Amino acid sequence: MPPRICALCKEARAVMKRPKTGQIVCRACFFWVLEEEVHQTIVSHGLFHPGERVAIAASGGKDSTVLAHMMKTLNERHNYGLELSLLSVDEGISGYRDDSLETVKRNQQQYDLPLKIVSYSELYGWSMDEIVKEVGRKNNCTCTFCGVFRRQALDRGAVMLDVQHIVTGHNADDVAETVLMNVLRGDVARLGRSTDISTANEGDSMVKRSKPFKYTYEKEIVMYAYFKKLDYFSTECTYSPAAYRGHARTFLKDLESIRPSAIIDIIHSGEALTIREDVKMPTLQVCDRCGYMSSGPLCKACVLLEGLNRGLPK
Amino acid sequence: MSNTEGNLGAGEDRLRRRREPGICVKCRTEKACAYVREAGYCQPCFIHQMTGKVRTHLTRTPLPGDIREVRGKCRVLLAFSGGPSSRVLLDMVAHYTGEHVNQQARRFGEISVVHVDESILEEDENASCSTLRHDIQNVVDSYGMRLSVVALPSAFSTTDDPDGRRGFEKCRQSYSSNGSKSSEEDLVRQIKMHLLRQVALEQGATILLTGDSATRTAIHTLLEITQGRGYTLPFLVGPTSTTGYPDVVVWRPLRDCLAKEMDQYIAFQELQVPKNTEKKEDKSEPTTLYGMTQSFIVGLDEGFPATASTVARTAAKLRVAPEALESSDERISRCVICDLPVQGGSQGWRDRCAILGRSTKADDREKGCGDSSKDAGCCGGSGDSGCNGDRPSNQGTSSSLPMALCYGCRVAASADKGKKEDVERDTPLLWPRYAQHALDQQTKDAKVEGLREQIQDFLLEDEEDQ
């Protein structure tokens, strides 16, 4: 059987099939097309402006490692003129985050980017291990604490780094999964903005966040990391539970197995979904205690923190 | 009242009583025999709450302006598959809007029933067809309504192929060679809706009632999202698709009732159901998007009983994009398959998200590389090194498909190539006759418009005469 030829360059021998399109491509074309798609996403959405200081949210996992690599590559190739840095959050999960942070530190050397690590202990006086000890591991509450605190921690880290823009490694699978989750939970407030590529600067402490991998399939990110031999950490969080989100994730994977374009089709749908004007939506307020954006007098982080400090949430 | 009860708040008290095992949550005296989202009802209370929901829909949903004017006279067509949902709908409609309802309270004029004969999709076509038709006729006759039956392949009928069977089979084959079973299912759904609307049009009906339950609405919501039809989702799963189709209002009065409630209602009312709609696919692993979505929603609803109704209610909160609304002075572009508005720029979006081509050096030499595409990296990119051949090209994306398709129908027509060896192996698609006709008409209109543009400067406006 003759070697199969790359569907993109029509010259080299194809070595893989793209999960997103099903095309058989050579290694060089795979790198090119993935980088080009991310570049097209950045350019068509006008994500950056020259001279902007941008922090890459780095966990040491595959998505953020590939993001760091690609941001550096594209910044140099297309002269975005960005001042890049790495920003990590140390949640204080022994056996997981301590190891992944070692990867981030190696990435800092490899990509020659400044790194800032902010820790939950330092910001909130509680590490995740301590929180879990206090509240237990029932239901999904561990992830609630971690998610709420991480969002604020990234913003606070960005202020420390003096950047107004954070890029995160959320990929197409994450975005599609969020669309499905919000439909399943009936969360119309989030549904309307679940496919936004950037969050606008709102409130006093808000830092702009963008997802350059919004249209990039998770499998292709893994393939990119694998073929580029990138140094990343691939262990699941020790507190990762079988949450409700897991159902949406499994469903999405099943859909993808039947129709590979389902992920991108869900994002296309999500972008077109708009909520009726007469539907009651939460209004954006500012937390009385910390000044962070909130939907009530106190932000979620302050409510959780208050409960922790009073020893209430069991 | 005991001390403990006295300390309970009103809400907690209500909840406690609501959860009292075995007792109806409504009358609080009878034994519960039907459970809806963990709330138990006795038979009369169950029927009362269910009919109440449907009656509210049927009698209070605002009618569109032009239909409101002919209140009590507008003709209604009820889509009856013979399954449990449409069976309940038929019963409810007959009871709450039929001729026996007093003149002032009546919203509808004549109500007739249509059944789309899908027996061509069955393995044992003849046997299933005759039995089902007979049972359906009996049920409809029992309400004294008129029944029309239209066969699925009739969308393909021509003079050479009067019943359209050959055309239908060819079309299915062309879809399965390009797409998959999911694409075929989607095509069948679109053809069914077209046929229902066609019958409505022929009979002068302005309202089409369908028996979409909350469960089916939830399944369809997720399914259409999965197929990229977010733009037209409010038309497809909303309570009424007032402005979705140009000729008929699709109304879904059962969208607040779960499929389980339908079964319960049928059992309590001892209704004859002609068709058991339980899919054979349920027994094995689902292999289509619909089967997958159905199994997901039904499965999730067992663990989280509010899932289907939450999804259905969320879908009802969606708004149609203003540009998708047709006004009297501005026509919008419609998909030739589903006849719903086409979202502008969706093909460009897709090409940007998934680059399928790369201009090679050979291509550049051939073209003389003088073209500067705006988004591309070659000769027009931001800071690229010039004509190195590294630029995206949309060759081979979906060139064989006409632009007159919406995103969802386009995906269905070309989907699942990702699972095939070679994405460029396109088999020409065969269309239903109505779609081909619409496509020809659009092409003709575009030609006329093009000619008109050329002579525009020489045409006199009416005002110039005055």
Per-residue confidence (pLDDT) for residue B72, from 0 to 100: 67
Instruction: Report the share of chain A in percent with pLDDT over 70.
Output: 95
Per-residue confidence (pLDDT) for residue B281, from 0 to 100: 46
A247 — pLDDT class (breaks 50, 70, 90): confident
Higher per-residue pLDDT: B354 or B459? B354
pLDDT > 60? residue B407: yes
- Which residues of chain B are within 8 Å of residue A35 when distances are taken between CB atoms? none
Per-residue confidence (pLDDT) for residue A167, from 0 to 100: 96
The mean per-residue pLDDT over the stretch B217-229 comes to 95
Per-residue confidence (pLDDT) for residue A311, from 0 to 100: 74
Rounded to the nearest integer, the mean pLDDT of chain B is 78
Per-residue confidence (pLDDT) for residue B395, from 0 to 100: 45
Q: ipTM above 0.85?
A: yes
Residue B354 belongs to some domain of the structure: no
pLDDT > 90? residue B460: no
Find the CATH number of the domain harbouring B204. 3.40.50.620
A-B CB pairs within 8 A amount to 173
Q: How far apart are CA B257 and CA B247, in angstroms?
A: 27
pLDDT > 90? residue B444: no
Per-residue confidence (pLDDT) for residue A171, from 0 to 100: 96
Contact A268 B384 (CB under 8 A): no
pLDDT > 50? residue B370: no
Per-residue confidence (pLDDT) for residue A236, from 0 to 100: 77
Per-residue confidence (pLDDT) for residue B461, from 0 to 100: 72
The mean per-residue pLDDT over the stretch A122-128 comes to 88
**Pure H helices in chain A:** 27-44, 62-77, 97-111, 120-124, 128-135, 141-161, 172-185, 188-191, 218-227, 244-258, 262-272, 300-310
Per-residue confidence (pLDDT) for residue A314, from 0 to 100: 44
Residue B466 belongs to some domain of the structure: no
Kindly state the DSSP code that residue A213 receives in the 8-state scheme.
T
pLDDT > 50? residue B382: no
SS3 of B117, please?
strand
* pLDDT tens digits along A153-203: 998 899 899 998 999 999 999 999 999 999 999 998 888 888 999 986 554
User: What are the phi and psi torsion angles at B365 (to 5°)?
Assistant: -65, -40
Per-residue confidence (pLDDT) for residue B18, from 0 to 100: 55
Residue B259 belongs to some domain of the structure: yes
B127 — pLDDT class (breaks 50, 70, 90): low
Tokens 């065969």 appear where? B430
B416: how many CB neighbours lie within 10 A of its CB? 22
How far does the CA of residue B440 sit from the closest CA of chain A (Å)? 28
Per-residue confidence (pLDDT) for residue B264, from 0 to 100: 92
B427 — pLDDT class (breaks 50, 70, 90): low
Per-residue confidence (pLDDT) for residue A73, from 0 to 100: 96
Tokens 């004294």 appear where? B144
Q: Which of B275, B272, B278, B308 is nearest to B291 (CA)?
A: B278
**Pure H helices in B317-402:** 346-353, 361-367
Of A9, A271, A275, the CB nearest to B230: A271
Residue B277 belongs to some domain of the structure: yes
pLDDT > 70? residue B421: no
Per-residue confidence (pLDDT) for residue A312, from 0 to 100: 54
pLDDT > 50? residue B212: yes
Contact A277 B407 (CB under 8 A): no
Per-residue confidence (pLDDT) for residue A72, from 0 to 100: 96
pLDDT > 60? residue B351: yes
- Which residues of chain B are within 8 Å of residue A39 when distances are taken between CB atoms? 377
- Which residues of chain A are within 8 Å of residue B349 when distances are taken between CB atoms? 268
B376 — pLDDT class (breaks 50, 70, 90): very low
Highest mean pLDDT: which of B94-98, B275-279, B407-411?
A: B407-411
pLDDT > 90? residue A126: no
Residue B275 belongs to some domain of the structure: yes
A147 is an annotated ligand-binding site residue: no
Cα dihedral B266, B270, B276, B278 sign: positive
pLDDT > 60? residue B373: no
Residue burial B107-146, b: 16+ Cβ < 10 Å; e: rest:
bbbebbbbbbbbbbeeeeeeebbeebbeebeebbeebebe
How far does the CA of residue A98 sit from the closest CA of chain B (Å)? 36
A59 is an annotated ligand-binding site residue: yes
Residue B338 belongs to some domain of the structure: no
Contact B392 A36 (CB under 8 A): yes
Of B227, B321, B419, the CB nearest to A272: B321
* pLDDT tens digits along B142-179: 999 999 999 988 888 888 888 888 888 888 777 766 65
Quote the Cα angle for B82-B174-B443, to 5°: 95
pLDDT > 90? residue A38: yes
pLDDT > 70? residue B17: no
A135 — pLDDT class (breaks 50, 70, 90): confident
B348 — pLDDT class (breaks 50, 70, 90): confident
pLDDT > 60? residue B31: yes
Higher per-residue pLDDT: B124 or B450? B450
Per-residue confidence (pLDDT) for residue B61, from 0 to 100: 77
The contacts of residue A275 (CB under 8 Å, 6+ apart) are A188, A191, A192, A281, B317, B318, B319
Residue B396 belongs to some domain of the structure: no
A68 is an annotated ligand-binding site residue: no
Domain ranges, residue B177: 61-324
- Which residues of chain B are within 8 Å of residue A43 when distances are taken between CB atoms? 375, 382
Per-residue confidence (pLDDT) for residue A152, from 0 to 100: 86
Burial class (CB in 10 A: 0-12, 13-18, 19+), B322: exposed
pLDDT > 90? residue B9: no
Pairing of strands A115-119, A165-167: unpaired
Per-residue confidence (pLDDT) for residue B36, from 0 to 100: 84
Least reliable range by pLDDT among B78-92, B192-206, B393-407: B393-407
Domains of chain A as residue ranges with CATH: 47-280 (3.40.50.620), 282-314 (no CATH)
A89 is an annotated ligand-binding site residue: yes
Contact A255 B375 (CB under 8 A): no
Dig out the tokens for B251 from the structure.
Answer: 């109304």
The mean per-residue pLDDT over the stretch B381-396 comes to 46
Per-residue confidence (pLDDT) for residue B422, from 0 to 100: 42
pLDDT > 90? residue B247: no
Instruction: Report the share of chain B in percent with pLDDT over 70.
Output: 72
Residue B32 belongs to some domain of the structure: no
Dig out the tokens for B134 from the structure.
Answer: 């007979």
CB B415 within 8 A of CB B398: no
Number of folded domains that form chain B: 1
Per-residue confidence (pLDDT) for residue B71, from 0 to 100: 64
pTM greater than the 0.95 cutoff: no
Least reliable range by pLDDT among A229-243, A260-274, B268-282: B268-282
A169 is an annotated ligand-binding site residue: yes
